[in-house]
Structure 1
Protein backbone atom coordinates (compact mmCIF):
# COMPACT_ATOMS: atom_id res chain seq x y z
CA UNK A 1 0.00 0.00 0.00
CA UNK A 2 2.67 2.49 1.02
CA UNK A 3 6.09 2.49 -0.51
CA UNK A 4 8.25 4.00 2.25
CA UNK A 5 12.00 3.79 1.86
CA UNK A 6 14.61 3.94 4.58
CA UNK A 7 15.17 7.69 4.14
CA UNK A 8 11.49 8.49 4.53
CA UNK A 9 11.25 6.19 7.53
CA UNK A 10 14.14 8.02 9.25
CA UNK A 11 12.55 11.41 8.53
CA UNK A 12 9.24 10.21 10.00
CA UNK A 13 11.05 8.90 13.10
CA UNK A 14 12.90 12.19 13.58
CA UNK A 15 9.66 14.11 13.13
CA UNK A 16 7.94 11.90 15.73
CA UNK A 17 10.75 12.52 18.23
CA UNK A 18 10.48 16.27 17.64
CA UNK A 19 6.69 16.33 17.98
CA UNK A 20 6.24 13.99 20.96
CA UNK A 21 9.63 14.24 22.61
CA UNK A 22 11.81 11.28 23.54
CA UNK A 23 10.01 10.66 26.85
CA UNK A 24 6.45 10.68 25.40
CA UNK A 25 7.25 8.75 22.20
CA UNK A 26 6.85 5.24 23.71
CA UNK A 27 3.42 6.14 25.14
CA UNK A 28 2.30 7.59 21.80
CA UNK A 29 3.51 4.51 19.94
CA UNK A 30 1.65 2.27 22.40
CA UNK A 31 -1.56 4.25 21.91
CA UNK A 32 -1.25 4.17 18.13
CA UNK A 33 -0.67 0.41 18.25
CA UNK A 34 -3.70 -0.18 20.45
CA UNK A 35 -5.90 1.97 18.20
CA UNK A 36 -4.73 0.07 15.11
CA UNK A 37 -5.41 -3.28 16.82
CA UNK A 38 -8.88 -2.12 17.80
CA UNK A 39 -9.63 -0.94 14.25
CA UNK A 40 -8.43 -4.26 12.83
CA UNK A 41 -10.65 -6.17 15.29
CA UNK A 42 -13.62 -4.00 14.31
CA UNK A 43 -13.00 -4.61 10.60
CA UNK A 44 -12.67 -8.36 11.12
CA UNK A 45 -15.85 -8.37 13.17
CA UNK A 46 -17.71 -6.47 10.45
CA UNK A 47 -16.47 -8.93 7.80
CA UNK A 48 -17.63 -11.91 9.85
CA UNK A 49 -21.01 -10.25 10.51
CA UNK A 50 -21.48 -9.71 6.77
CA UNK A 51 -20.57 -13.32 6.00
CA UNK A 52 -22.88 -14.62 8.74
CA UNK A 53 -25.71 -12.39 7.53
CA UNK A 54 -25.42 -13.59 3.94
CA UNK A 55 -25.84 -17.22 4.90
CA UNK A 56 -24.26 -20.46 3.71
CA UNK A 57 -24.84 -19.71 0.01
CA UNK A 58 -22.11 -17.09 0.13
CA UNK A 59 -19.54 -18.94 2.22
CA UNK A 60 -16.79 -18.14 -0.30
CA UNK A 61 -17.76 -14.44 -0.42
CA UNK A 62 -14.83 -12.05 -0.10
CA UNK A 63 -15.53 -8.56 1.24
CA UNK A 64 -12.85 -7.09 -1.03
CA UNK A 65 -15.07 -8.04 -3.98
CA UNK A 66 -17.31 -5.12 -2.99
CA UNK A 67 -14.62 -2.70 -4.16
CA UNK A 68 -16.04 -1.31 -7.44
CA UNK A 69 -12.69 -1.52 -9.25
CA UNK A 70 -12.18 -5.15 -8.27
CA UNK A 71 -15.82 -5.98 -9.10
CA UNK A 72 -15.40 -4.66 -12.64
CA UNK A 73 -12.10 -6.49 -13.08
CA UNK A 74 -13.54 -9.75 -11.81
CA UNK A 75 -16.73 -9.73 -13.85
CA UNK A 76 -15.67 -8.01 -17.06
CA UNK A 77 -11.94 -8.50 -17.60
CA UNK A 78 -11.29 -12.10 -16.50
CA UNK A 79 -12.98 -13.86 -19.42
CA UNK A 80 -10.57 -15.20 -22.00
CA UNK A 81 -13.22 -15.85 -24.63
CA UNK A 82 -12.39 -14.20 -27.97
CA UNK A 83 -15.81 -12.56 -28.24
CA UNK A 84 -15.35 -10.90 -24.89
CA UNK A 85 -11.72 -10.01 -25.64
CA UNK A 86 -12.91 -8.09 -28.70
CA UNK A 87 -14.77 -5.68 -26.44
CA UNK A 88 -11.72 -4.89 -24.30
CA UNK A 89 -9.67 -1.76 -24.84
CA UNK A 90 -6.37 -2.38 -26.59
CA UNK A 91 -4.44 -1.68 -23.37
CA UNK A 92 -6.19 -4.65 -21.68
CA UNK A 93 -5.32 -7.27 -24.32
CA UNK A 94 -1.86 -8.12 -22.91
CA UNK A 95 -0.05 -7.82 -26.23
CA UNK A 96 -2.54 -9.95 -28.20
CA UNK A 97 -4.26 -8.67 -31.30
CA UNK A 98 -8.02 -8.27 -31.06
CA UNK A 99 -10.10 -10.67 -33.16
CA UNK A 100 -10.97 -9.46 -36.65
CA UNK A 101 -14.38 -10.07 -38.19
CA UNK A 102 -14.50 -9.80 -42.01
CA UNK A 103 -18.29 -9.66 -42.08
CA UNK A 104 -18.52 -6.77 -39.61
CA UNK A 105 -17.04 -4.20 -41.99
Structure 2
Protein backbone atom coordinates (compact mmCIF):
# COMPACT_ATOMS: atom_id res chain seq x y z
CA UNK A 1 0.00 0.00 0.00
CA UNK A 2 2.66 2.50 1.03
CA UNK A 3 5.40 0.55 -0.72
CA UNK A 4 7.83 0.48 2.21
CA UNK A 5 10.90 -1.63 1.48
CA UNK A 6 13.03 -3.63 3.90
CA UNK A 7 15.71 -0.90 4.11
CA UNK A 8 13.18 1.78 4.93
CA UNK A 9 11.54 -0.43 7.55
CA UNK A 10 14.95 -1.03 9.17
CA UNK A 11 15.62 2.74 9.35
CA UNK A 12 12.17 3.33 10.93
CA UNK A 13 12.85 0.57 13.50
CA UNK A 14 16.28 2.04 14.46
CA UNK A 15 14.80 5.54 14.84
CA UNK A 16 11.95 4.10 16.97
CA UNK A 17 14.44 2.28 19.28
CA UNK A 18 16.51 5.46 19.69
CA UNK A 19 13.54 7.81 20.21
CA UNK A 20 11.18 5.58 22.22
CA UNK A 21 13.71 3.35 23.89
CA UNK A 22 13.88 -0.41 24.05
CA UNK A 23 11.80 -0.51 27.24
CA UNK A 24 8.66 1.15 25.80
CA UNK A 25 9.03 -0.19 22.25
CA UNK A 26 6.64 -3.20 22.67
CA UNK A 27 3.87 -0.95 24.00
CA UNK A 28 4.39 1.51 21.12
CA UNK A 29 4.29 -1.33 18.56
CA UNK A 30 1.06 -2.66 20.08
CA UNK A 31 -0.51 0.81 19.91
CA UNK A 32 0.65 1.28 16.32
CA UNK A 33 -0.81 -2.16 15.43
CA UNK A 34 -4.18 -1.18 16.90
CA UNK A 35 -4.22 2.07 14.92
CA UNK A 36 -3.30 0.25 11.71
CA UNK A 37 -6.09 -2.29 12.39
CA UNK A 38 -8.64 0.51 12.91
CA UNK A 39 -7.52 2.23 9.71
CA UNK A 40 -7.88 -1.05 7.78
CA UNK A 41 -11.38 -1.70 9.19
CA UNK A 42 -12.52 1.85 8.37
CA UNK A 43 -11.11 1.62 4.85
CA UNK A 44 -12.77 -1.82 4.33
CA UNK A 45 -16.09 -0.39 5.58
CA UNK A 46 -15.72 2.62 3.29
CA UNK A 47 -14.84 0.38 0.33
CA UNK A 48 -17.84 -1.92 0.96
CA UNK A 49 -20.11 1.16 1.14
CA UNK A 50 -18.78 2.40 -2.20
CA UNK A 51 -19.23 -1.07 -3.72
CA UNK A 52 -22.84 -1.21 -2.47
CA UNK A 53 -23.57 2.20 -4.01
CA UNK A 54 -22.07 1.08 -7.34
CA UNK A 55 -24.16 -2.13 -7.29
CA UNK A 56 -27.32 -0.13 -6.55
CA UNK A 57 -26.56 2.27 -9.40
CA UNK A 58 -25.98 -0.68 -11.76
CA UNK A 59 -29.26 -2.29 -10.64
CA UNK A 60 -31.15 0.95 -11.24
CA UNK A 61 -29.60 1.21 -14.69
CA UNK A 62 -30.53 -2.40 -15.48
CA UNK A 63 -34.09 -1.85 -14.21
CA UNK A 64 -34.43 1.17 -16.52
CA UNK A 65 -33.11 -0.89 -19.43
CA UNK A 66 -35.45 -3.79 -18.65
CA UNK A 67 -38.39 -1.40 -18.30
CA UNK A 68 -37.63 0.14 -21.71
CA UNK A 69 -37.34 -3.32 -23.28
CA UNK A 70 -40.58 -4.41 -21.62
CA UNK A 71 -42.39 -1.33 -22.95
CA UNK A 72 -41.04 -2.04 -26.45
CA UNK A 73 -42.22 -5.65 -26.26
CA UNK A 74 -45.64 -4.59 -25.00
CA UNK A 75 -45.92 -1.99 -27.78
CA UNK A 76 -45.03 -4.59 -30.41
CA UNK A 77 -47.45 -7.09 -28.88
CA UNK A 78 -50.23 -4.51 -28.95
CA UNK A 79 -49.41 -3.69 -32.57
CA UNK A 80 -49.55 -7.37 -33.53
CA UNK A 81 -52.86 -7.79 -31.71
CA UNK A 82 -54.30 -4.80 -33.56
CA UNK A 83 -52.99 -6.16 -36.86
CA UNK A 84 -54.62 -9.52 -36.20
CA UNK A 85 -57.90 -7.74 -35.39
CA UNK A 86 -57.78 -5.97 -38.74
CA UNK A 87 -57.04 -2.49 -37.47
CA UNK A 88 -54.48 -0.54 -39.49
CA UNK A 89 -51.12 -0.34 -37.74
CA UNK A 90 -48.38 2.18 -38.53
CA UNK A 91 -45.22 0.99 -36.78
CA UNK A 92 -42.59 2.26 -39.17
CA UNK A 93 -42.08 4.54 -42.12
CA UNK A 94 -44.95 4.66 -44.60
CA UNK A 95 -44.80 1.87 -47.16
CA UNK A 96 -43.74 2.63 -50.70
CA UNK A 97 -46.46 2.72 -53.32
CA UNK A 98 -47.33 -0.80 -54.36
CA UNK A 99 -46.22 -2.00 -57.75
CA UNK A 100 -49.01 -2.65 -60.24
CA UNK A 101 -49.96 -6.31 -60.51
CA UNK A 102 -48.37 -8.16 -63.41
CA UNK A 103 -50.45 -8.26 -66.56
CA UNK A 104 -52.24 -11.57 -66.90
CA UNK A 105 -52.71 -13.02 -70.38
CA UNK A 106 -56.21 -13.49 -71.68
CA UNK A 107 -57.49 -16.99 -70.90
CA UNK A 108 -57.44 -19.31 -73.87
CA UNK A 109 -60.86 -20.77 -74.55
CA UNK A 110 -60.69 -24.37 -75.69
CA UNK A 111 -62.90 -25.28 -78.66
CA UNK A 112 -65.94 -27.33 -77.80
CA UNK A 113 -65.26 -30.99 -77.44
CA UNK A 114 -66.04 -33.01 -80.55
CA UNK A 115 -67.93 -36.19 -79.85
CA UNK A 116 -66.71 -39.32 -81.53
CA UNK A 117 -69.51 -40.90 -83.61
CA UNK A 118 -67.94 -44.38 -83.37
CA UNK A 119 -69.00 -46.37 -80.32
CA UNK A 120 -66.36 -47.71 -78.01
CA UNK A 121 -65.40 -51.34 -78.65
CA UNK A 122 -66.89 -53.86 -76.26
CA UNK A 123 -64.53 -55.59 -73.94
CA UNK A 124 -63.81 -59.22 -74.51
CA UNK A 125 -64.97 -61.52 -71.76
CA UNK A 126 -62.26 -62.61 -69.41
CA UNK A 127 -61.11 -66.16 -69.69
CA UNK A 128 -61.95 -68.00 -66.58
CA UNK A 129 -61.73 -71.55 -65.33
CA UNK A 130 -65.06 -72.44 -66.99
CA UNK A 131 -63.79 -71.54 -70.49
CA UNK A 132 -60.83 -73.82 -70.39
Structure index of larger Rg: 2
| TM-score under structure 2 length normalisation | 0.37
More helix by share: 1
